[in-house]
């Protein structure tokens, strides 16, 4: 009888041991889960320093006097960026540079005593002798070539 009791006692102790060990591991694994979650958060969190995207600058040529020529171009030409008609001859800087190819810095490009604006207004070539029509024809020919 005592032997049976001893065996039962051993089984009971074993069961308790197993229960304690199981509880211990269960607790540990729960702890591991928490640790893992924390680790995962740490891993998924951005670690490297991100470079701040540089501001995208859209290059829009500024034209302060709105004469059609960009400020940078006017600076190259020597015309005023805040005056549409630098030489005050009645022809805007843009018209002189792009249309009549006259000197935007000289009010009388061909030096005949009549200002570029007056010549254009009267139908004369501001860049030399002859009527303005020839100039416009020459420009048209130039563009067609």
Among 1, 65, 120, 144, binds Ca ion (CB under 5 A): 65
> Which region, judged by CB under 5 A, interacts with Ca ion, from 24-32, 41-49, 67-75, 135-143?
67-75
Q: Both tokens of residue 3?
A: 């032997």
Interaction of residue 87 with Ca ion, rule CB under 5 A: yes
Q: How far apart are the first and last CA of the chain?
A: 124
Spatial separation of the C-alpha atoms in residues 121 and 95, rounded to whole Å: 13
Number of residues that bind Ca ion (CB under 5 A): 14
The residue among 110 and 139 lying less far from Ca ion, judged by its C-beta, is 110
Q: What is the DSSP letter of 1?
A: -
Spatial separation of the C-alpha atoms in residues 145 and 137, rounded to whole Å: 12
Spatial separation of the C-alpha atoms in residues 123 and 119, rounded to whole Å: 6
Among 106, 114, 121, 136, binds Ca ion (CB under 5 A): 114
CA dist 5 → 9, 12, 14, 18, 19 (Å): 6, 10, 14, 20, 21
State the minimum distance, in angstroms, from the CB of residue 50 to Ca ion. 41
The residue among 108 and 135 lying less far from Ca ion, judged by its C-beta, is 108
State the minimum distance, in angstroms, from the CB of residue 47 to Ca ion. 51
Among 35, 112, 137, 140, binds Ca ion (CB under 5 A): 112
Residues that bind Ca ion (CB under 5 A): 63, 65, 67, 69, 79, 85, 87, 89, 91, 93, 108, 110, 112, 114
């Amino acid at each position: 009888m005592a032997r049976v009791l001893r065996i039962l006692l051993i089984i009971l102790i074993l069961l308790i041991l197993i229960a304690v060990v199981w509880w211990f591991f269960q607790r540990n694994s729960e702890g591991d889960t928490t640790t893992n979650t924390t680790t995962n958060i740490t891993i998924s969190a951005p670690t490297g320093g991100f470079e701040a995207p540089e501001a995208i600058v859209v290059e829009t040529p500024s034209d302060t006097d709105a004469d059609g020529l960009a400020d940078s171009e006017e600076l190259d030409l020597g015309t005023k960026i805040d005056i549409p008609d630098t030489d005050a001859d009645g022809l805007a800087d843009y018209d002189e540079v792009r249309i009549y190819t006259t000197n935007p810095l000289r009010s009388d490009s061909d030096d005949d005593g009549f200002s570029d604006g007056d010549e254009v207004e009267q139908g004369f070539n501001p860049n030399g002798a002859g009527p303005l029509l020839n100039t416009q024809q020459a420009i048209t020919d130039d563009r067609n070539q």
